[in-house]
Amino acid sequence: MPTAKKLPSGTWRVRIYVGRNEGKDLYKSFTGSSKREAERRASSYLAIKHHSELTFGDAADRYIDAKENVLSSNTIRTYRTIRRRLTSLESVRMSRLDSELVQRVIDRLSADLSPKTVRSTYGFITVVTGMFEPDKTLSITLPEPEHKETMIPTREEVRRMIEEAPSEDLRIAIQLAAFCSLRSGEACALQTDMVKKDHIRISRTLVLTDSGEWITKNSPKTLAGYRDIPVPAALMAQLRAQKREDGRIIKYTPASLHDAFRRLTRRLKFPPYKFHALRHYFATSCHNDGIPDKVIAKLGGWEDVGTLHRIYQHATPDKLEEAGEILQKLFSKTMTQTMTRDENDAS
């Protein structure tokens, strides 16, 4: 970075070489009332100029590298998958990235991918652009999100899953998700030192590395994931009975846990529930039983109540049936009152 020099007028100036034209060297000047201000303006120009010469592929790689230690491994792995998907933007310079070009990419991806995947892809494009071209605004039309209701098991189905689980490890994992809100990675990373007197302390998760190895990460998925969760006495006894040399409560990885859960639901001839549906079951059941939403969000590791409302709370079949009975009583009561009034008017 060139050093600013003080001019006779009292201002400070930095001159930066920007190229040649017709055999002459060209310079760009940046002035300021102080040396520091002039050098700051010159540095900002150089940073923008450098970024504008980057290709989107290089910018995407630099963004992922910069975020690798602050974002979850799942998010980084998703970003790398998206990065490989955007081959048509690979050699496009960031300075030439515009709404028309990105819209063409989005339209092409929309023909083969789900709206959710396309939206995630666009989200990655915007965060990369925001880092290297912060003043650039993209105006894009995205596919409408699909309305897909998450299937969650009933209480009777959860009871049968627990009773008929083929192993103690799977039985415990189901209960940890359904009654303690643990994610699969959190359940698989649970160790004896995290089991306290009447609660468990969530501070680790099992994650998949790029090399395909499952490792324990000494932090949960999000900051809100650090939490103490009360555990029913019967489940606590099961946790204390699980003693392994490595200190783990259950033997599964998230992948093998999902497979075991899928085999169980197939054997029971249940709908194709995912293991994560048990967290939905936890949130919905707690809400239906009157636990305040802020408490549910705290227990479940959700960062805000809005996420809980939007994604994890559902109208369960038994509650819909209960609502139908209430509406029927309301209708009957209303119509009876109407008929009684009409009869009185007629007399």
The mean pLDDT value for 133-154 works out to 84
Please give the model's pTM, rounded to 2 decimal places. Answer: 0.65
Cβ contact 63:128 at 8 Å: yes
Backbone angles phi, psi at 269, to 5 degrees: 60, 40
Least confident of 19-33, 38-52, 99-113: 38-52
**pLDDT tens readout for residues 194-253:** 999 889 999 999 988 877 889 998 888 778 889 999 999 999 999 999 988 889 999 999
Backbone angles phi, psi at 182, to 5 degrees: -75, 140
Which residues, other chains included, contact 115 with Cβ-Cβ below 8 Å and sequence gap of 6+? 142, 143, 144, 145, 146
Q: Is 221 helix (H, G, I), strand (E, B) or coil?
A: coil
The mean pLDDT value for 173-192 works out to 95
Report the mean per-residue pLDDT for the chain: 84
The identity of residue 26, as a single letter, is L
What integer pLDDT is reported at residue 188 of this predicted model?
96
What integer pLDDT is reported at residue 250 of this predicted model?
94
For the ranges 33-37, 147-151, 307-311, the maximum mean pLDDT occurs at 33-37
- Percent over 70 (pLDDT), the chain: 83
What integer pLDDT is reported at residue 245 of this predicted model?
86
What integer pLDDT is reported at residue 333 of this predicted model?
66
The mean pLDDT value for 78-90 works out to 94
H or E stretch including 13?
Answer: strand 12-21
One-letter-per-residue 3-state SS of 239-290: HHHCCCCCCECCCCCHHHHHHHHHHHHHHCCCCCCCCCHHHHHHHHHHHHCC
Query: DSSP per residue over 153-210, as a string?
Result: --HHHHHHHHHH-SSHHHHHHHHHHHHH---HHHHHH-BGGGB-SSEEEE--EEEE-T
Burial pattern 252-267, b for ≥16 Cβ within 10 A else e, equals bbbeebeebbeebbee
Burial pattern 81-114, b for ≥16 Cβ within 10 A else e, equals ebbeebeebeebebeebeeeebbebbeebbeebe
**pLDDT tens readout for residues 282-335:** 888 888 888 888 888 888 888 877 766 665 655 555 555 655 666 567 657 656
**Angle of helix 168-180 versus helix 277-288 axis, rounded to 10:** 40
Give the chain's length.
347
Least confident of 40-44, 72-76, 270-274, 290-294: 40-44
What integer pLDDT is reported at residue 22 of this predicted model?
66
State the pLDDT confidence band at 20, using cuts at 50, 70 and 90. Answer: low
Query: 118 to each of 98, 182, 252, how far by Cα in Å?
Result: 18, 29, 32
- Fill in the DSSP letter of residue 151: P
Q: Is 223 helix (H, G, I), strand (E, B) or coil?
A: helix
**pLDDT tens readout for residues 154-180:** 999 999 999 999 999 999 999 999 999
